[in-house]
Amino acid sequence: MNRGDRANGADAARAVEPGSGRGRPGAAAQTSLTTLLNLVRTGAATTRQELERQSELGRAVVTDRLATLIRLGLVEEGELGQAIGGRAPRHVRFRTGAGTILAATIGHSSLAVGISDLSGRLLAEHHEAVDLAAGPDPVIERLSSLFTWMREEHGTETGVWGVGLAAPGPVHKPDDDRLFAPVLSAFQNWDGFPFVEALAQRTGAPVWVRSGVQTMTMGEFRSGSGIGVEDMIFVKLGRSIGAGVISEGRLHRGAQGAAGLIGYTAIDGESLEGIAGSEAIAREARQAAESGRSPYLAGVLARSGEVTVTDAGHGAQLGDGFCIELLARAGRAVGEALAPLANLLNPSLIVLGGSVAQTGDILLAAVREAVYRQSHPLVTRDLRIVRSQMSGSAGLVGAAQVVVEALFEPKFLQGWIALGSPREHPETRDFLTRAAEAVKRQPQRPRPPGQVVA
Partner 1 sequence: MSITGLGPHGERAVPAGQVTLSDADAEAARQRRFSVAIALHTTTSDWSREELAGMVMTLGRYGAAVVEVVDCGFDADRQVAALLRLAAEPVDAVVSIPIGSNRVSEAHRAISAAGKKLVLLDNAPTGMLPGADYVSVVSTDNFGLGEIGAELLSPHVPHGGTVGILAYGIDFFATHEREIAFRKWVNAHRPDLTLVRGKFPDVSQAGATTAELLASHPEISGMFAVWDVPAIAAVAAIRSAGRTIPVTTVDLGGEVAAELAKGGLVKGIAAQLPFDQGIAAGVATILGLLGREPPPWIALPGLPVTSDNVVQSHQLVWRAAAPPELIRARKLRGS
Member of 53, 58, 77, 110 binding partner 1 (CB under 8 A): 110
As a whole number of angstroms, the distance between CA 360 and CA 316 comes to: 8
- Burial of residue 121, with CB atoms counted within 10 A of its CB: 0-12 exposed, 13-18 middle, 19 or more buried: middle
- Judged by beta carbon, residue 63 or residue 144, the one nearer partner 1 is 144
For partner 1, which stretch binds (CB under 8 A), given 14-22, 327-335, 371-379, 387-395? 387-395
Residue 169 phi/psi, 5° resolution? 85, 170
Contact positions with partner 1 (CB under 8 A) in 318-377: 318, 360
For residue 73, give the H/E element and its range: none
d(CA 226, CA 217): 9
Determine which residue in the list 3, 59, 126, 376 makes contact with partner 1, applying CB under 8 A.
126
Q: Which stretch, 254-262, 384-392, 433-441, 446-454, contacts partner 1 (CB under 8 A)?
A: 384-392
Q: Does 442 bind partner 1 (CB under 8 A)?
A: no
- Residues between 290 and 319 with contacts to partner 1, criterion CB under 8 A: 303-304, 310, 317-318
CB of 244 to partner 1, least distance (A): 18
Per CB under 8 A, 112 contacts partner 1: yes
Question: Is residue 36 packed enough to be buried (19+ CB in 10 Å), middle (13-18) or exposed (0-12)?
Answer: buried
User: Is 256 an interacting residue with respect to partner 1 (CB under 8 A)?
Assistant: no
Instruction: Work out whether 119 is an interface residue with partner 1 (CB under 8 A).
Output: no
Minimum distance between the CB of residue 230 and partner 1, rounded to whole angstroms?
22
Residue 282's alpha-carbon distances to 7, 285, 312, in angstroms, are 57, 5, 8
**Of 25-33, 120-128, 248-256, 444-452: span binding partner 1 (CB under 8 A):** 120-128
Smallest CA-to-CA distance from 241 within 385, 369, 357 is with 357
Helix axes 361-374, 309-317, angle to 10 degrees: 90
Residues 6+ apart with CB under 8 A from 102: 113, 114, 115, 116, 147, 150, 151, 160, 162, 163, 164, 203, 205
Complex with partner 1: residue 69 or 357, whichever CB lies closer: 357
Segment contacting partner 1 by CB under 8 A, of 49-57, 138-146, 190-198, 373-381:
138-146
Least separation in angstroms between residue 312's CB and partner 1 is 14
- What's the rounded Cα separation, in Å, for the pair 218 and 227? 10
403, 164 contact by CB (below 8 A): yes
CA torsion angle 316 317 320 321 (round to 10): 60
Candidate list 77, 128, 157, 290; residue touching partner 1; CB under 8 A: 128
Binder of partner 1 out of 43, 90, 153, 453 (CB under 8 A): 153
188 touches partner 1 (CB under 8 A): no
Q: How far is the CB of 128 from partner 1 (least distance, A)?
A: 6
| Angle, CA 132 vertex, CA 128 and CA 138 arms, to 5° | 80
Using CB under 8 A, count the residues that bind partner 1. 30
Residues sharing a CB contact under 8 Å with residue 257, sequence separation 6 or more, in sequence order: 170, 171, 172, 173, 182, 210, 211
Q: Which CB atom, from 291 or from 304, has the smaller least distance to partner 1?
A: 304
Among 389, 433, 442, 451, binds partner 1 (CB under 8 A): 389
Interface contacts to partner 1, rule CB under 8 A: 110, 112, 121-129, 141-142, 145-146, 149, 153-154, 303-304, 310, 317-318, 360, 387, 389-393
